[in-house]
């Protein structure tokens, strides 16, 4: 642990998002701001119609397809407006006023998705874990066969829960994967749409990955403003208007890194090891309690509390002193949250676990 | 000229957008990707709720107010979705279905703004220069006193025209200033809303500056999705959801640079000198013709053609060889376009003018 403490310059970044990115990606991303690929222009000042930049977007799309195993039934877009814009755009593009979409309420983000969808059609909330402060993921509900889609949130950043069980149904999933995309293999064919704000597992803030199965499109009667119609962006390869060029570029670099690590299968193994290390410590350490139901624990956002409130501030001070940032829990849960996305190295998790052990020795 | 040709590494960037940014801004922007202000985190991986990042957004808002002389009647937002999203959002937020907004059609962008506004209310197109391929800016029309707003495009990037004359009316302007914001002083009090995609005079692609006079708000009856309601973003200081953190940061750096140059008044003088240099050459050089009406010429985007089509490709080759990029004209106008935004140094304009002179000597 001592050796890690020596390097005060680089923090251990447990932020929930915007979040840690691979060091090699940051280095290349910085270089491109001064001079992209040695062409004598910054990536920030290149035309988005230039061959050099078009190649960036095309590689980002190709890597997304490759990493997730998407076939040609899927369109890949890099849009803006965050996952928050997809809350209404999904319903606007997929749901007619007299049709019904099903939602499962697993926390703050799904609650917002439900609110926005109601502006466009009927919303049937099949299940909610609100009564337990979203500390678990509802299971074993039945999805009506005539539902237009079933909206799920695969990982709940705030509450530290994750979808490890998926309902049996032929209704296509529309899924907010903002905080666990590319962290594990998924059974793609069950998803009609996947969306993810970039700033957790994919890149910096400023772009949103949107993946749409073609059969979801062209079925609503309403008139949609041009910029809100998925078809607009599909027809122009995410280049109908000037795209968020740099955020997409950094996503592309991150996906290159991800592929070099062995892709999502290799990443899942690494993520399981990191999560096991910290959850084991939470379960063994008398000072800490896990906040989420064990079977629904997130491999991305580890939420934990302290029975003794007086020790919360001192432990956060210890974390800060050791260069561990972003460990304070969201106000909805309290305590602590360690976000350990793909780019988080095992060494940083070991560092945090070491702090938990040291703290228990002194305060146990 | 020879000395400029020696440095092959750095291009003379005449791109229409994304466009040239000040070299000092790019240097600081690259450094922040590795380590922001020496805090041990990249700006790409910092929480948008951290004090360090909140200070960035606050400074960006403050600099916008200071540079444009905005009083407390104006709200300043940094949103996403480009100016293209403001085409519909302005009408959605300001115009009831039974009300009328007036538009002036000065080219491709205003045409799109008109199309989107029609989804929300009555649109009265007061004037259009379409018949002259948008080579001039319509003038001397009358604005009906009961219009909700008058939409103008202050600078037309594609056609190289600019609003130098403003109509006399009490109707508030809603103005797309994407390609000339911060390039000259404006009479702010006449504007109910100003919007600008960042990627011309303000920063990199990925954020849109939206300035709204408070009395424009709260007057429409329709239900608006949360993310499309200006009030959502005003209440949360552009932080309702995760903002495009890095694009906003680079805008802030660019505004700092702009202030250090003497602000928009000093910038206007510099821009006038640069534009005069190249327009004088166009008027004097027998090989080139200006594309826009003289009184409406843009100080930002200089469009020009060649009577002899056979010489177009050779001149573009000469530009490329000399490191002048982005000089090819938009397909709607043909010929050439030199975008000479705030950050374009006089030396690059001199370089291009030198090429025009050399080319005329060899081909005159």
Model confidence pLDDT, tens digit, residues A149-186:
999 999 999 999 999 999 999 999 999 999 999 999 99
Q: What pLDDT is stored for residue B211 in this prediction? A: 98
Contact A15 B326 (CB under 8 A): no
Is the CB of residue A166 less than 8 Å away from at least one CB of chain B? no
Task: Tell me phi and psi for residue B336, to 5 degrees.
Answer: -135, 155
Kindly write down the DSSP assignment for every residue of B117-166, as one continuous string: HTTTSEEEEEEE-GGGTT-S---S----TT-S-EEEESEETTTTEE--S-
> Residue B75 to residues A26, B62, B71, B322: CA-CA distances in angstroms?
34, 11, 9, 44
Closest-approach residue (CA) in chain A for B204: A44
Both tokens of A272, joined, read 């399981």
How many helices, marked H, and strands, marked E, lie in chain B?
Answer: 10, 14
Domains of chain A: 2-22+263-363 (3.90.1150.10), 26-260 (3.40.640.10)
Mean pLDDT of A245-264: 98
Global pTM?
Answer: 0.97
CA pair distance A177, A198, nearest whole angstrom: 10
Is the CB of residue A33 less than 8 Å away from at least one CB of chain B? yes
* Confidence grade of residue A364 (pLDDT, cut at 50, 70, 90): confident
DSSP structure class, residue A329: P
Task: Tell me phi and psi for residue A120, to 5 degrees.
Answer: -120, -20
Question: Which of B21, B47, B80 is facing A326, going by the closest CB pair?
Answer: B47
Contact B225 A116 (CB under 8 A): yes
Taking alpha carbons only, the member of B92, B262, B248, B276 closest to residue A226 is B92
- How many angstroms separate the CA of residue A199 from the nearest CA in chain B? 8
HSE-CB at B163 with a 13 A cutoff on CA atoms is 26
Contact A226 B31 (CB under 8 A): no
Q: What pLDDT is stored for residue B10 in this prediction? A: 80
B288-347: pLDDT as tens digits: 999 999 999 999 999 999 999 999 999 999 999 999 999 999 999 999 999 999 999 999
The residues with which B304 forms a beta bridge, in sequence order, are B290, B336
Is the CB of residue B124 less than 8 Å away from at least one CB of chain A? no
A286-324: pLDDT as tens digits: 999 999 999 999 999 999 999 999 999 999 999 999 999
Q: What pLDDT is stored for residue A258 in this prediction? A: 98
Helix or strand (DSSP H, E) at A352: helix A346-363
B145-192: pLDDT as tens digits: 999 999 999 999 999 999 999 999 999 999 999 999 999 999 999 999
Q: Establish whether this prediction's ipTM goes over 0.95.
A: yes
| Residues A24 and B251: beta-carbon distance below 8 Å | no
Taking alpha carbons only, the member of B170, B172, B102, B112 closest to residue B138 is B102
Is the CB of residue A206 less than 8 Å away from at least one CB of chain B? yes
Q: What pLDDT is stored for residue A9 in this prediction? A: 63
CB atoms within 10 A of CB B346: 12
Question: Which of A26, A88, A225 is facing B42, going by the closest CB pair?
Answer: A26
Kindly write down the DSSP assignment for every residue of A254-322, as one continuous string: HHHHHHHTTHHHHHHHHHHHHHHHHHHHHHH-TT-EESS-GGGB-SSEEEEE-S-GGGHHHHHHHHHHT
Which residues lie closer than 8 Å to B44 by C-beta, 6 or more apart?
A18, A21, A26, A29, A203, A204, A205, A250, B33, B245, B246
From chain B, the residues in CB contact with A29 under 8 A are 33, 44
A67-104: pLDDT as tens digits: 999 999 999 999 999 999 999 999 999 999 999 999 99
| Residues A171 and A151: beta-carbon distance below 8 Å | no
Indicate which of B8, B15, B18, B77 best probes the interface with A, i.e. most A CBs within 10 Å of its own CB: B18
Q: Look at residue A6 and tell me whether its pLDDT is greater than 90.
A: no
Contact A41 B223 (CB under 8 A): no
Is the CB of residue B84 less than 8 Å away from at least one CB of chain A? yes
Per-residue pLDDT of chain B (364 residues; tens, 9 = 90+): 334 444 446 899 999 999 999 999 999 999 999 999 999 999 999 999 999 999 999 999 999 999 999 999 999 999 999 999 999 999 999 999 999 999 999 999 999 999 999 999 999 999 999 999 999 999 989 999 999 999 999 999 999 999 999 999 999 999 999 999 999 999 999 999 999 999 999 999 999 999 999 999 999 999 999 999 999 999 999 999 999 999 999 999 999 999 999 999 999 999 999 999 999 999 999 999 999 999 999 999 999 999 999 999 999 999 999 999 999 999 999 999 999 999 999 999 999 999 999 999 999 7
Both tokens of B83, joined, read 């100016």
């Amino acid at each position: 642990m001592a050796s890690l403490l020596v390097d005060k310059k680089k923090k251990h970044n447990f932020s929930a998002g915007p979040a840690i990115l691979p060091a090699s990606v940051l280095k290349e991303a910085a270089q491109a701001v001064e001079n992209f690929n040695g062409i004598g222009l910054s990536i920030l000042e290149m035309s988005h119609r230039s061959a050099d930049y078009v190649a960036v977007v095309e590689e980002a799309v190709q890597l997304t397809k490759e990493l997730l195993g998407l076939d040609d039934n899927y369109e890949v877009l890099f849009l803006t407006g965050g996952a928050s814009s997809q809350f209404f755009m999904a319903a606007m593009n997929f749901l007619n006023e007299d049709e019904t979409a099903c939602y499962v309420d697993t926390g703050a983000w799904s609650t917002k998705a439900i609110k926005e969808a109601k502006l466009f059609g009927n919303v049937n909330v099949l299940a909610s874990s609100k009564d337990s402060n979203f500390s678990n993921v509802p299971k074993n509900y039945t999805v009506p066969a005539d539902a237009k889609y079933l909206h799920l949130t695969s990982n709940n950043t705030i509450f530290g829960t994750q979808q490890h069980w998926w309902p049996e149904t032929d209704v296509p999933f529309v899924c907010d994967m903002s905080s666990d995309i590319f962290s594990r293999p998924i059974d793609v064919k069950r998803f009609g749409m996947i969306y993810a704000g970039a700033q957790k597992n994919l890149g910096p803030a400023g772009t949103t990955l949107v993946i749409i199965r073609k059969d979801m499109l062209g079925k609503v009667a309403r008139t949609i403003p041009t910029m809100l119609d998925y078809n607009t962006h599909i027809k122009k390869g995410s280049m109908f208007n000037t795209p968020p060029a740099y955020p997409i570029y950094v996503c592309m670099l991150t996906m290159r890194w991800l592929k070099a690590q062995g892709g999502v299968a290799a990443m899942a193994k690494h993520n399981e090891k990191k999560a096991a290390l910290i959850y084991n410590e939470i379960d063994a350490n008398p000072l800490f309690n896990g906040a989420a139901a064990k079977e629904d624990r997130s491999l991305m956002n580890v939420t934990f509390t302290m029975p003794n409130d007086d020790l919360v501030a001192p432990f956060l001070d210890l974390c800060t002193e050791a260069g561990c940032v972003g460990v304070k829990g969201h106000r909805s849960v309290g305590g602590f949250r360690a976000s350990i996305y793909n780019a988080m190295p095992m060494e940083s998790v070991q560092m945090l676990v070491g702090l938990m052990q040291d703290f228990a020795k002194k305060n146990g």
